[in-house]
Structure 1
Amino acid sequence: MRATYVAVLAAALSACTAVGPDYMPPAGPAVHTDTFEAAGSAALSADPLPPHWWRLYDDARLDALVEEALHVNTDLRIALANLERARAEVDEVNAAYGVQPDVEAGVSVGQASTLGISRPAGTHGVVSAGVGIAYEVDVAGRIRRTLESAQASALARQAAYELAQVTVAAGVVAAYTDACSAGARLKVARESVALQRQSLTLTARGVSAGVYSSRDASRSQALLAQLEAVVPPLEGARRTALYSLAVLTGHAPSDYPQVLAQCETIPALTQPMPVGNSAGMLRRRPDLRRAERELAAATARIGVETAGLYPTITLAASIGTTFRTGGEPFSGSAFQYGLGPVISWTFPNQKVARARIDEAGAAARAALAQFDGAVLNALRETESALTLYVRHIEENDHLRQARDASLAAARLQQRLAAGGTVSSLERLDMERALAIAQGAVAASDATLASDRVRIFLALGGGWESAGD
């Protein structure tokens, strides 16, 4: 009868409502439109961003490097270890939310005191053994709120791991793109240097023949030096990108793919960039999922601290025995058992508990502000990346027109120079203009390549389902 009463009491107390606020997902800052401002550009598509976005480049070598980085990158290993620790914390809380068995045993040596009236009896051993169980009744929902907080924190770690994956994938594509972009710019720069050396040779011959002055040769030599000065920084930029790529894939900086040291073709898309809409972006970005789960964990901690205002009740039962060793077996043995609740309560001194509630409430408000800020920052990053990309495409079109015009003018001047109707200064100016135009187009192509990676990173692309 008593055991039945205890079971019913435990069930009734466990059914109590958990204290503290129940978590509700935040609405976030108001977004007045679901369409990106730059969405009207022909360079962008309203199609949703596909999973594994780097495969849009259709580059098997790039795909292999990304997959390698996702398996060995050190940042991902750290994030994965943090995730595993968070999951272990959830298991720990789950283990505490149930019946806790206990087994005790002990052996001691004693001697009965006669208070000096007679000779003490000999020493004897005492053996005790027992088993017990304890169950903390979740009166105020402290354990439930603790479990909610731990689970939310684990999901936040999961989102942090996914964010690390997105960042590493974007880093690999960026390093790969930067290396090839530097190679493409180097190709243009070296071609300009080769052409200018030919021009300098012709100018030197003209000086010897009395057609040009020595000043013309000096000017041609100066232009050559200017063009040659562009090459070393680009070589350094390519080497730096290769070092980054090697480290991202778990190798020493000098152990980069040697074939990329000769790459001169910038990875590009054969279709408009699929960017979807802002709602899909907000659902997709793992940093927003992490901020939302951190808010959920902070909200649950308010309940954990609020439970400190209420008593803690533990239902315990135990059974055991104590007996002396020596003499008759089990002589002097005693059987014992216990059954009942154990109550602990900090009442009436609750100042510490209330201070902790205030602290948890302030932390939750800060987490909400961080979430709202993360949403606004995500929108800003994406809108900025898309706008810059569209404007840079317009710039690239104009630069190509200027390059083509300079190339046509240079070819015309070559024909006129053969007839002696063009001065050396005019020819030199045209060569300088052509070199500048070609370099500007190459730099613009590299900027567009970086813009594409920045957009993919802002969109949070990675492992989401294609329907997002």
Structure 2
Amino acid sequence: MDYTRFILSATIAVAFSSASASDPAGGYVMDPLPESWQMTRQCTQTLPTEDDWWKTFNDSTLDALIAKAVANNYDVAAALRRIEMADKIVKEAQSGYFPTLSLSGSWTKGQQSGAVSDPVGRYERSSYFSLGATMNWEIDVFGRVKAAVKSKKAAYQASKSDYDAVMVSLCANIASAYMNLRMCQEELSVALAHIASQDDVVKITEARYEADLGDMLDVTQARIVLYGTQTSLPALRARIKTLINTISILVGEYPGELAQHLSVYERMPDYRQTVSAGVPADLLRRRPDIMTAELQLAQYAANVGISKKDFLPTLSLTGNIGTAAHNAGDLFGNKSLTYSVAPQLSWTLFDGLARNYRTAEAKLQLEAAVDQYNLTVMNAVEEVDNALIQYDATLSSIELQKKVVEQSEKSLNLAVDLYKTGLTPFSNVVDGQMNWLESQNTLVELEGKALATLVTIYQSLGGGWQP
């Protein structure tokens, strides 16, 4: 009987008899998952290492950065090494199915005291050569080795899920940094455009002052607005440089090699995406952290099985075969052969209840892993739902903010025209300049927030989607 499978099934069945029948994780989820998100959408999802979610932005620079990062990033390389190490650990556990064989060769020369062994005092001397081979084999009658292999295989699969998590995190971090870079460049472009407009207004106030149609207060107020906008430029340019450095490190290159290319201004990618999130149950088959938690459950269940095996006897076979002779030339003679075969059945009957405590500890670890699994699933559902709600809300805010920008521009143009004719004070022009700049910056920030939320959706889903 496969005790590991029996223990896992029994534990889960008793603890979670109310689990959802549609749960692909084998009944680990304590409560049935909701049938849909609050923002219901449909999709066909791909694996994190196979999707091209970022290509929906039609941005060749972003595509190239992610492709280069997957090839060069050191976190990805380390995750691959961990997979290789876990694979070697599985093979090490599988080696328990096979016997161990050792060879030995020696020459022995000795003398036995005659004062002890013979009343007359004669001593005995000996000198001989020996060659031999020894085999030890624990026959896995009760499945001890099989249970250990199952535990290591679960750890190996968990390491592959960790690799998927690294891939998702890497792509999300690059996309997020890239969106922030383009947002800052857009803010810089807006600031430069307003500086040019504000400089024109300064010239208007100076001309009116020189023509005695205005006073010096208008000139100073216009200059204050201009200088205030110019003050934002150094911080924006510094932010752009630091984001380029961040992207360079994620890509696996030293800062500076990508600076010339990324410093060129480009518009932000299109924030309007048809987001298809599937249904909550898809997360159980998709999110790396949920898959890792599930595989850890399997590992802990296997550990319970291993602890159960300690109560059973072990059957081992030890054999020796060799040759011994006083002269090296006689080692392979007919009378020099030696051998022994020793099957052994051992069974520990009492060990101070140590095995009982180890089994109880293994069961508690399994129960704690089940609780952690349920918490991971619940957090995942919450993250996706919140990201979808946030994205829809941000899209609505963008449409409203566009109207604010349009009206702010009209308000400024009207104020400037009225000021030129002396029908309104310059303070209205100042208010119009500040409102227009602020509304445009808010619009850029909202568009950047929408892009950042798309990255969050990608990360919370554990991968991308296909429209």
- TM class by shorter chain equals 0.7 to 0.9
**Could you list the per-position Cα deviations for residues 245-298 of structure 1 after superposition, in whole angstroms to 9, with x for gaps in the alignment?**
100111113333422112331122564223222222332111111111011101
Aligned AA for 1:18? Y
Aligned to 1:323: 325
Q: How many Å apart are 1:157 and its aligned residue?
A: 0.4
Distance of 1:33 and 1:127 partners within structure 2: 77
| Secondary structure of the corresponding residue to residue 107 of structure 2 | strand
Q: How many Å apart are 1:350 and its aligned residue?
A: 4.2
Aligned to 2:149: 147
Quickly say closer, same or farther: Cα 1:392–1:328, change in 2 above 3 A.
closer
- Give the TM-score normalised by structure 2: 0.88
Q: How many Å apart are 1:353 and its aligned residue?
A: 1.6
Aligned to 1:239: 241
| Preserved contact between residue 141 and residue 303 of structure 1 (Cα < 8 Å) | no
Q: Which moved more, 1:174-183 or 1:96-105?
A: 96-105
2:204 corresponds to 1:202: yes
Distance of 1:271 and 1:287 partners within structure 2: 26
Aligned to 1:12: none
Aligned to 2:89: 89
**Could you list the per-position Cα deviations for residues 406-464 of structure 1 after superposition, in whole angstroms to 9, with x for gaps in the alignment?**
112222333333332222111221122111111111111111111111111111116x9
Distance of 2:329 and 2:291 partners within structure 1: 71
The one of 46, 57, 60 equivalent to 2:42 is 46
Aligned to 2:78: 78
Q: Which consecutive residues of structure 1, in runs of 5 or more, have no partner in the other structure?
A: 1-15, 40-44
| Secondary structure of the corresponding residue to residue 262 of structure 1 | coil
| Secondary structure of the corresponding residue to residue 3 of structure 2 | coil
| Preserved contact between residue 130 and residue 331 of structure 2 (Cα < 8 Å) | no
Q: How many Å apart are 1:119 and its aligned residue?
A: 5.2
How many percent of aligned residue pairs carry the same amino acid? 24
Distance of 1:54 and 1:141 partners within structure 2: 48
2:20 corresponds to 1:18: no
Distance of 2:291 and 2:328 partners within structure 1: 68
Quickly say closer, same or farther: Cα 1:199–1:31, change in 2 above 3 A.
farther
Quickly say closer, same or farther: Cα 1:422–1:19, change in 2 above 3 A.
closer
Aligned to 2:290: 288
The one of 243, 250, 259 equivalent to 2:261 is 259
Q: How many Å apart are 1:120 and its aligned residue?
A: 4.2
Quickly say closer, same or farther: Cα 1:411–1:325, change in 2 above 3 A.
same
Aligned to 1:106: 106
Distance of 2:345 and 2:161 partners within structure 1: 40
| Secondary structure of the corresponding residue to residue 69 of structure 1 | helix
Quickly say closer, same or farther: Cα 1:203–1:106, change in 2 above 3 A.
same
Q: Which consecutive residues of structure 2, in runs of 5 or more, have no partner in the other structure?
A: 10-25
Q: How many Å apart are 1:20 and its aligned residue?
A: 7.6
Aligned to 2:277: 275
Distance of 1:98 and 1:17 partners within structure 2: 20
Quickly say closer, same or farther: Cα 1:310–1:329, change in 2 above 3 A.
closer
Distance of 2:109 and 2:386 partners within structure 1: 80
Distance of 1:278 and 1:19 partners within structure 2: 30
| Preserved contact between residue 28 and residue 372 of structure 1 (Cα < 8 Å) | yes
| Preserved contact between residue 282 and residue 378 of structure 1 (Cα < 8 Å) | no
2:57 corresponds to 1:57: yes
Q: How many Å apart are 1:346 and its aligned residue?
A: 3.4
Aligned AA for 2:3? A
Quickly say closer, same or farther: Cα 1:257–1:277, change in 2 above 3 A.
farther
Q: How many Å apart are 1:33 and its aligned residue?
A: 2.7
The one of 343, 347, 353 equivalent to 2:349 is 347
Q: How many Å apart are 1:319 and its aligned residue?
A: 2.2
Aligned to 1:381: 383
- Give the TM-score normalised by structure 1: 0.87
Q: Which moved more, 1:379-388 or 1:210-219?
A: 210-219
Quickly say closer, same or farther: Cα 1:327–1:424, change in 2 above 3 A.
closer
| Preserved contact between residue 154 and residue 296 of structure 2 (Cα < 8 Å) | yes
* Matched length: 444
Q: How many Å apart are 1:220 and its aligned residue?
A: 2.0
Quickly say closer, same or farther: Cα 1:326–1:246, change in 2 above 3 A.
closer
Aligned AA for 1:47? C
